[in-house]
Amino acid sequence: MLAMQYVITLPDDYDMDTIRGRIHDKGHLLDGFGGLLFKSFLYACRGADGPLNLYAPFYVWRDTAGMDRFLRGPGFAALSADFGRPAVTLWAVSELAG
């Protein structure tokens, strides 16, 4: 499994309601996306949550195939067109038996 995140730093005066609306309107589009095990749409508002406005989706993928389809797909292309292509950070995730 792989954890993946990208962080987009937004201008100080950015209307974070736009990000909340994006999450509300588009987040469900990844429901059932092949290989996606978990998603969380994180954001921080300047002042209330820290010094910056941030949008930082987090995903856990079963394998690289689904993640690759996502990164090469129209959703990530649209995000990159709107905000610039973000750097993507990856972590290996091991499944621990309980």
The answer to whether the beta carbons of residues 52 and 44 sit under 8 Å apart is: yes
Q: Strand runs (DSSP E) across 11-87, as ranges?
A: 36-44, 53-61
pLDDT digits (tens, 9 = 90+) for 6-59: 999 999 999 999 999 999 999 999 999 999 999 999 999 999 888 999 999 999
Where does the pLDDT of residue 97 fall: very low under 50, low under 70, confident under 90, or very high at 90 and above? Answer: low
Whole-structure pTM value = 0.90
Token pair listed for 50: 């820290």
Is a pLDDT exceeding 80 seen at residue 98? no
What are the distances in angstroms from CA 80 to CA 59, 62, 93, 94?
17, 23, 26, 29
The answer to whether the beta carbons of residues 88 and 7 sit under 8 Å apart is: no
The answer to whether the beta carbons of residues 59 and 67 sit under 8 Å apart is: yes
Domain edges within the chain? 2-49+64-86
